[in-house]
Amino acid sequence: MPTVLRTTWPLLLGVLLLMVGNGMQGTLLGIRGKIEGISTTEMSVVMSAYFGGFLLGSRVVPGMIRSVGHVRVFAALGSLISSVLILYAAAPDWVAWTAMRLVIGFCFSGVYITAESWLNASTSNESRGRALSAYMIMQMLGIITAQLLMNVADPAGYLLFVIPSVLVSLAFLPILLSPQPAPQFATLKLMSFGKLFRASPLGCVGMFLMGGVFSAIFGMASVWGAVKGLPVRDISAFVAAIYVGGLLLQYPVGWLSDRGDRRAVVLALAILGTAVAAITVAAQPGIWGLLAAAALIGGVANPVYSLLLAHTNDFLDSSDMAAASAGLMFINGVGAISGPLITGWLMDRMGPDGFWIYIGVLLALLAGYTFYRRTRRSSPAQDQSFAVIAPSATPVAVEAALETAGSDEGDKPA
C-alpha cells in the first residue's frame, strides 16, 4: 500500500477534496432549502436533478474526452463545478437550483470518469486492487469530512457555499500537475437490456430498486433532517453515519458473499434494512437511535450494490462483464432519478416518516424478489470475487475493479 500511495497520492488527494465539496453541497442544500422556505416537493426535484445529470454525463462525457482529451474536459468541468457551488447562494430558488444540480451531476460524472481513467492507467495490474480500494475509501472519507465542515458556519450565510467551491478548485491542482500522463480512453462495449435481464433478472430489478434507495438516502437525508427539525449538528452526524456504516460493512459482507450464495446475503441485508426502517418509524428514536439506524441503512445499501454487480457477473463470461456492469449502472441511474421525487411526495403527505417508509418498501420488494429468484435458479459457480464498488463509481472504475477481482488479486477487495 505505501508504494501505491506514493504513485497515486495526487489523484487520491484530489478525489478526497472533490468528495468533501460534493458532500457539503448535498447536505447544505437540504438544510438551506428549509431556511429559504422551499417546499419538500420542490426540494425533491432539486435533489433528483443531480442523478439525472450524473446519468447524462455517463453517456456524454466519454465522447467529449475522446474529442478534446482528458485534461481539457477535466479542467472545464472542474471550473463549472466551482462556479455553480458559489451560485447556489446567489440564487436561492428551487428552479435555479434544479438547473444547477443538473449541471453539477453532469460535471461530477465526467470528473469521476476522468479521475478513474487516470487511476486505472497509473497503476500496474499487481497494484490496481489496492489503488481502487484506496480510491473508494477516499470517497467515503471525503463525504464524512464534509459533514464535519457543515458545523463551521451558519447554513443561512454564504461561507458554507464558499468552502466547497474552494476545495473543489484546489482538488484539481494535484491531479492536473501530476507528472502521470493522461491515459487513452477506451470505448466501453454495450449489452442489450434484454440480454442483460436474461442473464440476471435479480441484477436488473435489484439495481433499479437500489437506485431508488441510494438517491433517497444520499439525496434526501438532509431534507428529511430539516423537515424533522433537527439541528445542523444532528443532520450532519446522521449523513456521516450513513457513510461510516457503508465503509465498515463492505468488507465483512464481501467476505461472506465469496463463501456462499450471494443471493442469501442480499436477502439477509434487505430484510435487515426493511426491519431498521420499520422500527425507526414505529419507535421514533432520539438522535442516538437515528444515528444507529443511519449506519445500518448505509451498511446495507452500499454492500448490496456491489453484491448485485458480483451476482450478475457470476453468470457471465469475463468478456461480457464490463458491458453488463455499464448496463446495470444505467438501470441504477434510472431508478435513482425517481427516488427523491417519490420520497418528497411521501414526506409531503406523511411527514418525515415518508423517508423511512419509502426506503423500507423498496428493500422489502428487493427481499421478496430475491427470495423468489432463489426458487427459480440454483446458485452459480462464483469464479468472480466480490469487489468493493461505491454507488458513485463510473463504469471505468467498475471495469477495473472487476478485472482485478478476477485476477490473482481476487482475494483483495477493490
Using pLDDT thresholds of 50, 70 and 90, give the confidence band for residue 410: very low
Structural domains of the chain, ranges and CATH numbers in brackets? 2-180+188-405 (1.20.1250.20)
pLDDT tens, residue by residue, 274-291: 999 999 999 999 999 999
Query: Strand runs (DSSP E) across 189-345, as ranges?
Result: none
pLDDT tens, residue by residue, 200-229: 899 899 999 999 999 999 889 999 999 999
Residue 317 in contact with residue 394, Cβ under 8 Å?
Answer: no
Decide if pLDDT at 56 tops 80. Answer: yes
| Angstrom distance (rounded) from CA 222 to CA 207 | 23
pLDDT tens, residue by residue, 223-274: 999 999 999 999 999 999 998 998 888 778 777 776 777 888 899 999 999 9
The per-residue pLDDT of the chain, averaged, comes to 83
Residue 129 in contact with residue 139, Cβ under 8 Å?
Answer: no
| Angstrom distance (rounded) from CA 307 to CA 210 | 11
Please indicate whether residue 204 or residue 388 has the higher confidence score (pLDDT).
Answer: 204
pTM, two decimal places: 0.85
pLDDT tens, residue by residue, 101-126: 999 999 988 888 777 776 666 666 55
Identity (one letter) of the amino acid at 329? M
CA 64 to chain centre: 23
Lowest-pLDDT range, 66-75, 166-175, 232-241, 361-370? 66-75
| Angstrom distance (rounded) from CA 293 to CA 238 | 9
Cα dist. 58→107, 108, 180, 326 in Å?
10, 10, 24, 9
**What DSSP character marks residue 408?**
T
Residue 358 in contact with residue 224, Cβ under 8 Å?
Answer: no
What is the rounded average pLDDT of the residues 333-339?
A: 90
| Angstrom distance (rounded) from CA 94 to CA 89 | 12
Q: Which three cell numbers stand for residue 264?
A: 442469501
Question: Among 183, 383, 217, which residue's Cα sits nearest to residue 304?
Answer: 217
